[in-house]
């Protein structure tokens, strides 16, 4: 979606909101103030009841904290909510896609709180203003930011800051225990994370959730991946296929789809990754990778490993590491 088109959509929402509400949307009933990721105060309902989540991290947080949203957006490169959350959110209405919210549908959902972050609407003042005219909107985190901070702000906006702190503490305790066990057999190994899309790989670097999970677990990255990026996967040309190599390679896909074309087909789960791996294995040079020669390429759920989310996603990644490396 072009910036001009988004601006026009936002303007239309502003006009509709002005007709129905006059000034900025006011919150009915008791309110309290929370601070968003930019340090801005936002008045939110004391007990929000109709929450819309417009990003994978905020949607993950709602599921983790036992809140069913009245609307969500599709997962990155997918035509539905994120695959790793699909079983729990089958009946939740989809109100647009990542970076492409349907403002009219969001308004009709009548939310009393909207949660969004930089993984979906990044530095887009028009989009945020449009959302704020619909309902109180909390901007919870940045693309490539720490999932913990995003989750803490989301939990606070829901009035569940203490519960959120407990979730993070439980995760930290779990990974500390698993880290010590992994160190016994895998201290010297390297671990790659790759998304295979459109016949070519992209690297999942250390600032993205799966990269943070491996860091939490004390698992080393190969030299080409031992760094942070710009908050999204980093494409690798087939001529530089060696950059994806390591002792172990976690291999995911988002099917044949993309953010701009979520209906292109394929699936983002582990079965989709296995199908993509069969395609990748036929690519010239793939059979020379150390991980492939040693049968250490592990097909994983791409909606968790190669996208973004919160505690549910992080624990899903830790589950996979534990089951694959400590059978």
The pLDDT, as a whole number, for residue 327 is: 75
CATH class of the region 3-160: alpha beta
Q: Residues 237-291: pLDDT tens digits?
A: 999 999 999 999 999 999 765 444 445 456 889 999 999 999 999 999 999 999 9
What mean pLDDT comes out for the span 26-33? Answer: 82
In this prediction, residue 3 has a pLDDT band, given cuts at 50, 70 and 90, of very low
Residue in the block written with tokens 């036992």:
66
- Judge contact between 72 and 92, C-beta under 8 A: yes
What mean pLDDT comes out for the span 127-143? Answer: 96
Same fold flag, 3-160 and 173-325: yes
Q: Are strands 200-203 and 234-235 parallel, antiparallel or unpaired?
A: antiparallel
In this prediction, residue 21 has a pLDDT band, given cuts at 50, 70 and 90, of very low
The rounded distance, in Å, linking the Cα atoms of 290 and 248 is 8
The rounded distance, in Å, linking the Cα atoms of 24 and 299 is 48
The pLDDT, as a whole number, for residue 267 is: 83
Residue 66 has pLDDT above 60, yes or no: yes
Residue 9 has pLDDT above 60, yes or no: no
Query: How would CATH label the architecture of 173-325?
Result: 3-Layer(aba) Sandwich (3.40)
Pick the range with the lowest mean pLDDT from 25-34, 47-56, 223-232.
Answer: 25-34
Give Cβ neighbours of residue 8 (< 8 Å, ≥ 6 apart). none
Residue 2 has pLDDT above 60, yes or no: no
Q: Residues 153-207: pLDDT tens digits?
A: 999 999 999 999 999 999 999 999 999 999 999 999 999 999 999 999 999 999 9
Residue 315 has pLDDT above 50, yes or no: yes
The pLDDT, as a whole number, for residue 265 is: 52
The pLDDT, as a whole number, for residue 226 is: 97
Residue 15 has pLDDT above 60, yes or no: no
Residue 18 has pLDDT above 90, yes or no: no
The 3 state secondary structure assigned to the chain is: CCHHHHHHHHHHHHHHHHHHHCCCCCCCCCEEEEECCCCCEEEEECCCCCEEECCHHHHHHHHHCCCCCCEECCCCCCCCCCHHHHHHCCCCCECEECCEECHHHHHHCCCCEEEECCCCCCCCHHHHHHHHHHCCEEECCCCCCCHHHHHHHHHHHCCCHHHHHHHHHHHHHHHHHHHHHHHHHHCCCEEEEEEEECCEEEECCCCCHHHHHHHHCCCECCHHHCCCCCCCCEECCHHHHHHHCCCEEEEECECECCCCCCCCCCCCCHHHHHHHHHHHHCCCCHHHCHHHHCCCEEECCHHHHCCCCCHHHHHHHHHHHHHHHCC
The pLDDT, as a whole number, for residue 26 is: 55
The rounded distance, in Å, linking the Cα atoms of 116 and 52 is 9
Average predicted confidence (pLDDT) for the chain: 90
Pick the range with the lowest mean pLDDT from 57-66, 163-172, 228-237, 295-304.
Answer: 228-237
Domain ranges of the chain: 3-160, 173-325
User: Which residues on adjacent β-strands are paired with residue 197?
Assistant: 200
Query: How many other C-beta atoms can be found within 10 angstroms of the C-beta atom of residue 38?
Result: 9
């Amino acid at each position: 979606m072009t910036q001009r088109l988004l601006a026009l959509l936002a303007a239309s929402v502003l006009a509709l909101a002005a007709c129905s509400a006059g000034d900025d949307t006011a919150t009915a009933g008791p309110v309290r103030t929370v601070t968003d990721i930019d340090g801005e105060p936002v008045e939110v309902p004391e007990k929000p009841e109709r929450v819309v989540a417009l990003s994978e991290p905020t949607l993950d947080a709602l599921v983790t904290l036992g809140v069913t949203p009245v609307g969500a957006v599709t997962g990155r490169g997918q035509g539905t909510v994120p695959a790793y959350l699909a079983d729990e959110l089958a009946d939740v209405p989809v109100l647009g896609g990542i970076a492409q919210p349907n403002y009219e549908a969001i308004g009709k959902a009548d939310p009393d709180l909207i949660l969004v972050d930089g993984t979906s609407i990044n530095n887009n003042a028009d989009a945020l203003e449009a959302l704020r005219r619909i309902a109180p909107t909390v901007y919870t985190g940045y693309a490539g930011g720490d999932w913990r901070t995003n989750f803490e702000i989301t939990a606070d906006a829901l009035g569940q800051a203490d519960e959120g702190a407990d979730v993070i503490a439980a995760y930290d305790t779990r990974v500390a225990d698993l880290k010590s066990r992994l160190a016994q057999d895998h201290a010297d190994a390297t671990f790659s994370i790759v998304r295979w899309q459109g016949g070519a790989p992209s690297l999942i670097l250390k600032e993205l959730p799966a990269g943070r999970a491996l860091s939490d677990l004390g698992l080393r990255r190969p030299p080409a991946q031992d760094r942070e990026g710009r908050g999204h996967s980093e494409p690798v040309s087939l001529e530089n296929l060696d950059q994806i190599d390591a002792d172990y390679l976690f291999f995911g896909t988002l099917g044949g789809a993309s953010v701009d074309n979520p209906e292109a087909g394929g699936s983002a789960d582990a079965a989709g990754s296995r199908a993509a791996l069969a395609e990748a294995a036929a690519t010239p040079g793939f059979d020379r990778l150390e991980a492939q020669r040693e049968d250490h390429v592990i097909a994983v759920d791409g909606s968790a490993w190669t996208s973004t989310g919160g505690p549910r996603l992080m624990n899903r990644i830790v589950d996979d590491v534990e089951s694959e490396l400590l059978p």
